[in-house]
Amino acid sequence: MAVQESVPQMTMAKLTGDEVRKVATLANLRFDDAELEKMTGTLAQILGHIDMLKKLDTGNVPPTSHALQSENVFRADEHTNNFKTELTLDNAPAKDRNYFSVPRIIE
Amino acid sequence: MADIFYQTIRSLSEKLGKREITSREITEAYLGRIEKHDRDINSFITVGREIALKNAEEADKRIAAGEKGPLLGVPLAIKDLINIEGVVTTCASKILENFRSPYSAFVIKQLEQAGAVFLGKTNMDEFAMGSSNETSHFGVCKNPWDLKAVPGGSSGGSAAAVAAGFCPGSLGSDTGGSIRQPAALCGIVGLKPTYGRVSRFGLVAFASSLDQIGPMSHTVEDSATILQAIAGFDPMDSTSVNLPVPDYSESLNKGVKGMVIGIPKEYLIEGTDAEALAAVKGAASRLESEGARIEEISLPHTEYAIPVYYVIAPAEASSNLSRYDGVKYGYRSKNGENLAEMYINSRTEGFGTEVKRRIMVGTYALSSGYYDAYYIKAQKVRTLITEDFTKAFGKCDIILTPTTPSPAFNIGEKTSDPLEMYLSDIFTVSANLAGIPGITIPAGFSSKNGRPLGVQMLANHWGEPALFTAASAYEKLRDPSISAKTPTL
């Protein structure tokens, strides 16, 4: 007997702008009202297509995270990084001496 | 010099070996052609004239010292998500517009050792997310066969550059078909190796369990030559597999006698261009005439590959792309009072629409309450798709399919409907989900619009030798006018 999986009752008709706004917050993205409406529409369409996966009974199927069996890879805990600090900082949008500089965090 | 532009790597290498021409001369010629014609095609984001000439002079010195090698002095183009030390790697995104790579990818170091010359970095869909090269921040790349058509994507620039005679070979990356689909639409050979065959170290990550770097070229032999140079174990990529790399040249021209070629009935679907299907049938009968056996096989979960892919790839992407926050590198917004605002504004201003869409799908699929229903569900169906292939390869050595459902579509034709765009990868995504290798070989031209068509061959894990055997056999058996034709620029 296949284990019944919990499938939330989320279908394309039910995806709301508020939910999309919540996902945007999780993703550190912002959409204005027009963009949000459009994004909600396309996400609903894409998720609607993905919903066809529900047709399949996968109760006893193990998930695949990697196509090939992968083993944990270990190495000695030794310093191997030869990057010079200056080289790493070359791409910094803002820096102060040997540090990345960001807007004030503490008032 | 004009006659060098459509020569194979093999032929250029022979001329270099015989000292008929220098690497500098070849490199200058390609750079000249790029300068003259790439305004129309837009296949390069960065042309690295100085680096290319430096590489070429170095190669000429090595040749003069008596060194030989199939890539020594041969110019190649590199997709702009593979790091070359000191060169800008944009991923065709505003967010990485000014990112200068502090180190070179494993594949670049391998190619340097082989003496290849880097002409520049090629156009692509932003962060490799797209099937048409239309999501590039640097503008659409056009198909050299027809400037109204897309080159395919995401490795559109790498495919168009070879097709346009700007270089004899290039590197692309393939997450759901991003080497094979543009190669087919541009009439060239494109190979996605077995997952783990080529190191991803220095490849900007899109979907880490699917991404694989591979060669794009005029011929199957050249494809094998590039793979030979870039394949191999790399401790810097934890998913790189430590298996010996076979001599791929040995698998070329072995003939297909006794080989079993499977044709999956689920791939001969309605909606696929009649000529794309005819190309598969034509390839099958030609291979059969040389002693291969053709079998109908079944990959019953084929229709689920696109929905599985569009959960797993965006989920992995949403995690991988969280690093772009404007702190250590990349675009930083000038708007925002505090750190949290800076993150949001940098990402909102820096990413394009398609990248945001995928981040949103992925974040949704991984979010609390939906993780099991979408992400785990997709991973389970991924298992079923992989098992389909395991069963199929119990019955056949090679699977033969169309590479794409149609020849290249028009620029703008599918941009308003993302789902329609996603479905153009229907024949290629399964190989990434199962981690198996796949190659596309030019198979003709559409009688409707003259645009190229390809056929795809898939093999079991580590089956690149079988792919090269079957693909090189087909290359010889097909209508010779296919390889003789070049686009008019």
For chain A, which residues make up each domain, given as ranges? Answer: 2-54
Buried b (16+ CB within 10 A) or exposed e, A73-105: eeeeeeeeeeeeeeebbebbbeeeeeeeebeee
Largest Cα separation within chain A, whole Å, is: 64
At residue B154, does pLDDT exceed 80? Answer: yes
What tokens were used for B211?
């991404």
Predicted local distance difference test score (pLDDT) of residue B1:
62
Of the residues A35, A49, A54, A64, the best mutation for testing chain B's interface (the one with the most B CB atoms within 10 Å of its CB) is A64
Confidence of residue A105 (pLDDT cuts 50, 70, 90): confident
**Residue B262 Cα, gap to closest chain A Cα (Å):** 21
Does B315 reach chain A within 8 Å, measured CB to CB?
no
For the ranges B66-75, B166-175, B261-270, B356-365, the lowest mean pLDDT is seen at: B261-270
Burial label, A33 (beta-carbon count in 10 A; 0-12, 13-18, 19+): exposed
The whole-angstrom separation of Cα B304 and Cα A64 is: 15
Q: Angle at the Cα of B90 (from B84 to B96), degrees rounded to 5?
A: 120
The whole-angstrom separation of Cα B125 and Cα B79 is: 10
**Alpha-carbon distances of B13 from B98, B159, B200, rounded to whole Å:** 35, 21, 27
AA letter at B371: Y
**Which uninterrupted H or E stretch holds B166?**
none
| Structure-token match 């990434």, residue found | B432
Long-range CB contacts (within 8 A, 24+) of B98-102: B98/A91, B98/B331, B99/A91, B99/B329, B99/B330, B100/A90, B100/A91, B101/B202, B102/A83, B102/A87, B102/A88, B102/A90, B102/A91
Q: Do A29 and B311 touch (CB under 8 A)?
A: no
Contact A54, A9 (CB under 8 A): no
Predicted local distance difference test score (pLDDT) of residue A88:
87
Contact B438, B456 (CB under 8 A): yes
Write the pLDDT tens digit of every residue in B5-61.
Answer: 999 999 999 999 999 999 999 999 999 999 999 999 999 999 999 999 999 999 999
Q: What is the DSSP string of B175-238?
A: SSSTTHHHHHHTTSEEEEPPTTSB--TTBPPSSTTT-EEEEEESSHHHHHHHHHHHBS--TTST
The shortest CB-CB distance from A100 to any of B328, B337, B369 is to B328
Query: SS3 helix, strand, coil % of chain A, rounded to 5?
Result: 40, 5, 60
The whole-angstrom separation of Cα B357 and Cα B486 is: 37
| Structure-token match 């894409």, residue found | A46
At residue A5, does pLDDT exceed 50? Answer: no
Predicted local distance difference test score (pLDDT) of residue B336:
84
Predicted local distance difference test score (pLDDT) of residue A72:
83
pTM over 0.80, yes/no:
yes
Confidence of residue B112 (pLDDT cuts 50, 70, 90): very high
Predicted local distance difference test score (pLDDT) of residue A90:
93
Q: Do B337 and A103 touch (CB under 8 A)?
A: yes
Taking residues B300-309, report their average pLDDT: 97
The catalytically annotated residue of B13, B23, B43, B79 is B79
Residues 6+ apart with CB under 8 A from B387: none
Predicted local distance difference test score (pLDDT) of residue A1:
32
At residue B360, does pLDDT exceed 70? Answer: yes
The whole-angstrom separation of Cα B26 and Cα B190 is: 23
Class in CATH terms, A2-54: mainly alpha
**Residue B115 Cα, gap to closest chain A Cα (Å):** 25
The catalytically annotated residue of B23, B158, B173, B178 is B178
**Residue B391 Cα, gap to closest chain A Cα (Å):** 15
**Which uninterrupted H or E stretch holds B336?**
none
Taking residues B198-223, report their average pLDDT: 98
For residue B154, indicate whether it is catalytic: yes
DSSP state of B149: B
How many residues does this entry show for chain B?
489
Predicted local distance difference test score (pLDDT) of residue A80:
81
**Between residues A5 and B391, the one the model is more confident about:** B391
Give the dihedral of Cα atoms B16, B22, B24, B27; nearest 10 deg.
-50
Predicted local distance difference test score (pLDDT) of residue A85:
87
